[in-house]
Structure 1
Amino acid sequence: MTDHLGELAAIGTAVCWALGSLAFTRAGRRIGSLPLNVIRLALALVFAAAAGLALRGRALPTDATAEQWWWLGLSGFVGYFLGDLCQFRAFIEIGPRLTLLLMALAPPLTALIDFAVLGQRLTPLSLAGMAITLAGVAWVLSERTPAATTPGPASPRLRGILLGLGGALGQAVGLVLSKRGMVGYEPLAGAQIRMLVGLACFVALVLAASAGPRLRAALGDRGALGYATIGALLGPFLGVSLALFALQRTSAGVAASLLSTSPIFIIPLAARLEGERVGVRGLLGAVVAVAGVALLFAG
């Protein structure tokens, strides 16, 4: 008899990521996306170091080769820095529900980059999954809202959509790059390298933008720190740990499909915790997008 622990862990991961995105959104509204990225990556590194010490006997990835540092560091720059710079600003501009929906485009983008750069084969089923995901996302985003018709050079909704697309692209490119560095290496340690490089880039940006006072003010905001801590626990730490467990206990395709259900779980959470009104189009579009991702992995 199958215990389905892997599938349950994957669903738990999706719920964690949905809740984490809500926590990060609330923190970002209080302190801004740049200080939030510094704080949440620092917290995530502390949690990851504790996990690494317990599971690997190493708090830091000191056993990585120069080649692994290069590819995983480059992945961290693109994914954790550029991608998250866009994604966390999108949380503030359009909220966690639409941002997570846009992030559902990351798997199709990853597959396309794999095809273009690494020569990975795309089956007709995979192409159909990509088209369905794109259709589901486009259907939700095409819904007219007051924010979408705000006069000016760029409405907050349009800015948020573009930022969300940038986040999805950053995640996709980061994943492709990480494949080169993860060969024969521990996933947790690889994630630490990506986090370290991402954090270093955000600290450099804080210095370049003279945003030190903003960061100090953010560190004094207990409410924002509380939300950031919850988000870091649920997302980079507990969520990633459950995802790795899921990949060990079930097939990669099933795990990846269930992991992609965050845009569905976020709908009732956003309605309950954010007071967001979600119509039938928003619900069905999210289901269609996630179904497309599942079809992509099935192919």
Structure 2
Amino acid sequence: MPVASIPSGELAALGAATCWTASSLAFTAAGRRIGALSLNLIRLALGFALLTALCWIRRGLPLPTDAAPSAWGWLLLSGVVGFVFGDLCLFKAFILVGARVSMLVMALAPPIAAVLAWLWLDEGLGAVGVAGMALTLGGIAWVVLERNDGEGGRRRADPSGVALAFCGAVGQAVGLVLSKLGMKDYDPFAASQIRVIAGVAGFVIIISAVKWWGRVLDGLRDRTGMRLSATGAVLGPFLGVGFSLVAIQRTQTGVAATLMSTSPVLIIPAVILIHREAVSRRAILGALVAVAGVAVLWMRHS
């Protein structure tokens, strides 16, 4: 790997983590106003418009018509898995358990990718890999199982919300592997367009099947919800996803995944400052342990 490519890939990964941290807060608030299903379609449509404008300016092509058929296949599949399945689960988790716990559970995405590589590609984890996974799971469990109702009592996070966040992590892990298979040397933002096309199509089918178009129109009329959705769209499917593809293209996937998984740590000061959410020392320690576990898991090849 050329030395010059390392800083750009690592910076892109940190940029993706920062964007996802901010977008998760915006999407949590938007989802509680307009619903997770409506939000997913609206934010992907906005993201696609932004990506189209950017690609038109950068590449002279508003649409990814120069992508190879194999790239279309892998990236469309990645979009269905990552956006339709993964993000629908994640956004519902945002509503049920909030951004902080959801993003903490999402730190499982890199270990899940490692397990998939072990199962599908016969890549052994080794003792260090197993230790990294155990550390990550321990940090996440330490926070998720914390109980606190503000009155000296004890209450667990909503199990269904935690389960949905886990499904979101699975979707992201599989989507990341599929994206790398399809993208190779192709432009990351044009690759994002293909993934978003799949996401939009998937949500159009789902919304039509459940007859949700009235709720979508209600969401479009909610000015506050639309402002939050637009903010999240810029930071999420536009910049965040684009940066993540730049990262996996220009540096080792493990390094990129480690840096992108810092969202649980980045989100702690944000929820304290913006939502005035009380975050315990246990939550802070658990987040740090989880990310440390991801680092151990992925850096085992360094």
TM normalised by structure 1 equals 0.90
Residue 108 in structure 1 maps to residue 84 in structure 2: no
Give the equivalent residue in structure 2 for 1:177.
Answer: 178
Aligned-pair CA distance for 1:124: 2.7
Other-structure match for 1:238:
239
Structure 1 residue 44 and structure 2 residue 47: aligned? Answer: yes
Return the offset for 1:249: 7.1
Match of 1:87 in 2: 90
CA distance in 2 between partners of 1:178 and 1:10 (Å): 15
Partner amino acid, structure 2, of 1:177:
L
Read off the aligned partner of 1:13 and give its amino acid letter.
Answer: A
Q: Which aligned pairs between 1:58-207 and structure 2 lie closer than 5 A?
A: 58-146=61-149, 157-207=158-208
Post-superposition offset of 1:142:
1.3
Q: Partners of 2:207 and 2:245 in 1: how far apart?
A: 32
Structure 1 residues 244-285: Cα deviation after superposition (integer angstroms, max 9, x where no partner): 565677665444322211100111111121121110110000
5+ residue gaps in structure 2? none
1:198 to 1:244, Cα distance in 2 relative to 1, 3 A = closer
Residue 228 (structure 1) aligns with? 229
How far, CA to CA, are the matches of 1:79 and 1:251 in structure 2? 20
SS at match of 1:224: helix
Distance of 1:240 and 1:174 partners within structure 2: 11
Cα offset, 1:221, TM superposition:
0.6
C-alpha distance in 1 between matches for 2:78 and 2:8: 30
Question: Is the CA contact (8 Å cut-off) linking 2:82 and 2:171 kept in structure 1?
Answer: yes
Compared CA separation, residues 243 and 71, structure 1 to 2 (3 A)? closer
Q: Which moved more, 1:96-105 or 1:65-74?
A: 65-74
Deviation of residue 242 (structure 1)?
A: 4.1
Q: Secondary structure at the match of 1:90?
A: helix
TM-score normalised according to structure 2 size? 0.89
Alignment: residue pair count: 295
In structure 1, what is the equivalent of residue 275 of structure 2? 274
Question: Counterparts of 1:249 and 1:181 in 2: how far apart (Å)?
Answer: 15
Q: Tell me if 1:295 matches 2:268.
A: no
What is the deviation of 1:241? 4.2
Question: For residues 243 and 81 of structure 1, do their structure 2 counterparts lie closer, same or farther at Cα, with a shift above 3 Å needed?
Answer: closer
Q: 1:125 touches 1:298 (CA, 8 Å); kept in 2? A: no
8 Å CA contact 2:192–2:241 kept in 1: the answer is no
* Cα RMSD for the two superposed structures: 2.5
Measured at CA, do residues 173 and 219 of structure 1 come closer, stay the same or move farther in structure 2, by a change above 3 Å? Answer: same
Instruction: Report matched runs for 1:14-29 at 5 Å.
Output: 14-29=17-32
46-55 or 226-235, which moves further after superposition?
46-55
Aligned-pair CA distance for 1:34: 0.5
Q: CA 1:256 to 1:177, structure 2 compared with 1: closer, same or farther past 3 Å?
A: closer
SS of 1:35's equivalent in the other structure is helix
SS of the equivalent of 1:63 reads: coil
Give the drift of 1:174.
1.8
Deviations 1:109-134, CA, capped at 9 Å, x for gaps: 01101110122232332222111111
Could you tell me whether the CA contact under 8 Å between 2:23 and 2:235 is conserved in 1? yes
Identity, in percent, stands at: 50
CA contact (8 A) 1:113 1:176 kept: no
1:58-99 superposed Cα distances (whole Å, 9 cap, x missing partner) = 221112233222222112111110111100000000000000
Distance 1:21 1:38 in 2: 16
Q: Which moved more, 1:99-108 or 1:169-178?
A: 169-178
Contact 2:87 2:168 in 1 (8 A): yes
